[in-house]
Amino acid sequence: MTANSMTTEISKEQQEEKESLNLFYSTQTVIQKALGKLGYPNEMYELLKEPLRLLTVRIPVRMDDGTVKIFTGYRSQHSDAVGPTKGGVRFHPEVNEEEVKALSIWMSLKCGITNLPYGGGKGGIICDPKKMSFRELERLSRGYVRAISQIVGPTKDIPAPDVYTNSQIMAWMMDEYSRLREFDSPGFITGKPIVLGGSQGRETATARGVTICIDEAAKKKGFNIQGARVVIQGFGNAGSYLAKFMHDAGAKVIAVSDVYGAVHDPNGLDIDYLLDRRDSFGTFSQLFKNTISNKELLELDCDILVPAAISNQITVENAANIKAKIVVEAANGPTTLEATKILSERGVLLVPDILASAGGVTVSYFEWVQNNQGYYWTEEEVDEKLVKVMVHSFETIYETAQKHQVDMRLAAYMVGIRKMAEAASFRGWV
């Protein structure tokens, strides 16, 4: 190999890594591969590579100081071949069109994996909820529902919580929708407070789903959760409940982090103390003197690593240094495609995001079913059903990976896209 071709080689790899950092692009790449493996023609890829619909809205909100601020929001609906679309709404300063589109495709895949009668949707508003008052957030939430009301509804597209949105925001949104339609519409949105038709177990569902995946993955790797060392990046809804569940199951949670940094104790952290001291955005690390960085946290010696924060955390830069036996992606897109390859070559069992984080939408589906029938289940019933769905999904993907000799991510895409492709074929779209 000449020096020149070496240079091109390196820059090609760098180019691939750069591209795999783009969530939308990397999702399309894996969808194309998955459909190819399943034997679908290119038209199917052309249909499914982009959302069917993307609505951009501008929402005027009267701020507490009397001024009016205009916020931009989105709702993306990937595919309604299987049924109504479903997915959360995030409030975040970095929300953008590409991300919302990619996330709606992921919702389709999550619903496919768990065999729910939905396609994927996702919404977002560009805002910084940390800097907004309670009443400003209420006006923004209601304004968003008015702006998107024509394309959503219990049989069209069902929103839910996501990054920095919670059951209070779902309650305002449900109330606004019910007022617009002039009848009570609990099935319009999921993740509501229990008293407004929320489901038992919804609040903890994402973390429960991750816990079930960890159990299954540990069985495959032949080790016990009891005493296993767990590292969790992020202490939001998924990360914090997961830390609690792992701690209660007898695992040793040795490090957790928030946006500012991480706390680490090889003997295990006092999770109840952290839960007690964190603020409503899950931050706690500023209370501690000795912290390590999020980057250092990922490379700690441990058995189970759970990235539960943001995307692109495990990349070509650090994939070779990850010491965990299993990586369970509770966040969306925490590992790039190049890093996925490196982990898989190194024998690390990676449970991909679209499987690991599917517990939330699964219990959202249970909530919607309960709303539609007006009959409510106990927490035990919800949990039992969730375990069934998650274990079955895990097994199907694991077997698909073995059978086709592919990594768990590609296997998850194959399982996730299959039902949608089949439905689109039966409808005569392709």
Beta strand 68-77 pairing with 119-126: antiparallel
Contact between residue 262 and residue 256 where contact means Cβ atoms under 8 Å apart: yes
> CB of 118: closest distance to ligand GLU in angstroms?
8
> CB of 206: closest distance to ligand GLU in angstroms?
7
Quick one: tokens of 254? 């040795």
C-beta of 291 vs 335, nearer to ligand GLU: 335
Reading phi first (left if > 0) and then psi (alpha if -120 to 50, else beta), residue 261 is in left
Residues with a known catalytic role: 122
C-beta of 306 vs 324, nearer to ligand GLU: 306
- Interface region with ligand GLU, contact rule CB under 6 A, candidates 77-85, 156-164, 229-237, 420-428: 156-164
Enumerate residues 80-119 that contact ligand GLU by CB under 6 A: 86-88, 110
C-beta of 85 vs 340, nearer to ligand GLU: 85
> CB of 110: closest distance to ligand GLU in angstroms?
6
Q: Does 76 bind ligand GLU (CB under 6 A)?
A: no
C-beta of 313 vs 364, nearer to ligand GLU: 364
Closest CA to 214 of 255, 263, 247, 262: 247
- Interface region with ligand GLU, contact rule CB under 6 A, candidates 72-80, 265-273, 360-368, 410-418: 360-368
- Interface region with ligand GLU, contact rule CB under 6 A, candidates 27-35, 140-148, 157-165, 389-397: 157-165
Closest CA to 166 of 274, 238, 109: 238
> CB of 64: closest distance to ligand GLU in angstroms?
28
Q: Does 162 bind ligand GLU (CB under 6 A)?
A: yes
C-beta of 112 vs 161, nearer to ligand GLU: 161
Residue nearest to ligand GLU (CB): 88
Among 145, 160, 420, 424, binds ligand GLU (CB under 6 A): 160
Backbone angles phi, psi at 314, to 5 degrees: -105, 115
- Interface region with ligand GLU, contact rule CB under 6 A, candidates 124-132, 159-167, 246-254, 258-266: 159-167
How many residues in the shown chain lie near ligand GLU by CB under 6 A? 12
Among 188, 360, 393, 413, binds ligand GLU (CB under 6 A): 360
Separation between Cα atoms, residue 377 and residue 382, nearest integer Å = 7
> CB of 113: closest distance to ligand GLU in angstroms?
11
Q: Does 123 bind ligand GLU (CB under 6 A)?
A: no
C-beta of 190 vs 313, nearer to ligand GLU: 190
Q: Does 357 bind ligand GLU (CB under 6 A)?
A: yes
C-beta of 99 vs 338, nearer to ligand GLU: 99
> CB of 69: closest distance to ligand GLU in angstroms?
25
Count the Cβ atoms, other than its own, within 10 Å of residue 48.
26
Among 231, 361, 382, 386, binds ligand GLU (CB under 6 A): 361
Enumerate residues 179-238 that contact ligand GLU by CB under 6 A: 190
C-beta of 31 vs 113, nearer to ligand GLU: 113
> CB of 17: closest distance to ligand GLU in angstroms?
25
> CB of 92: closest distance to ligand GLU in angstroms?
12
Among 340, 364, 371, 400, binds ligand GLU (CB under 6 A): 364
- Contacts with ligand GLU, residue ranges (CB under 6 A): 86-88, 110, 160-162, 190, 357, 360-361, 364
